[in-house]
């Protein structure tokens, strides 16, 4: 599984970074940075991030 963020939808509000700070953060310019891969132990945080995004910009791709 890997994380995909739709950059067109994302509005850089950072709710995902609160839910799953191991994978999501806002940089000094307020732009979202994220790591696509995640460990099993972080899976529930990642699912929380998917659910917390107000514009449904985060999806999980099972190909990766
Ligand atoms: S919660 Fe959604 S809109 Fe906000 S920074 Fe994360 S991906 Fe972007």
Helix (H, G, I), strand (E, B) or coil at 48: helix
User: What dihedral do alpha carbons 31, 37, 39, 43 form, nearest 10°?
Assistant: 70
CATH (residue range 2-61)? 3.30.70.20
Q: What is the pLDDT of residue 62?
A: 86
**Do the Cβ atoms of 49 and 58 come closer than 8 Å?**
yes
Predicted TM-score (pTM) of the model is: 0.92
> Where along the chain do its domains lie?
2-61
Q: Ligand 1: which residue has its CA nearest to atom 1?
A: 53
59 Cβ closer than 6 Å to some ligand 1 atom: no
50 Cβ closer than 6 Å to some ligand 1 atom: no
Q: What is the pLDDT of residue 55?
A: 98
**Could you read off the pLDDT tens digit of each residue along the chain, which spans 64 residues?**
999 999 999 999 999 999 999 999 999 999 999 999 999 999 999 999 999 999 999 999 987 5
22 Cβ closer than 6 Å to some ligand 1 atom: no
Q: Ligand 1: which residue has its CA nearest to atom 3?
A: 10
């Amino acid at each position: 599984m890997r994380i995909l963020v739709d950059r067109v939808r994302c509005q850089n509000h950072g709710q995902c970074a609160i839910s799953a700070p191991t994978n999501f953060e806002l940089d000094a310019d307020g732009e979202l940075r994220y790591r696509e891969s995640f460990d099993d132990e972080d899976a529930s945080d990642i699912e929380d991030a998917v659910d917390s995004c107000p514009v449904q910009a985060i999806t999980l791709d099972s190909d990766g």
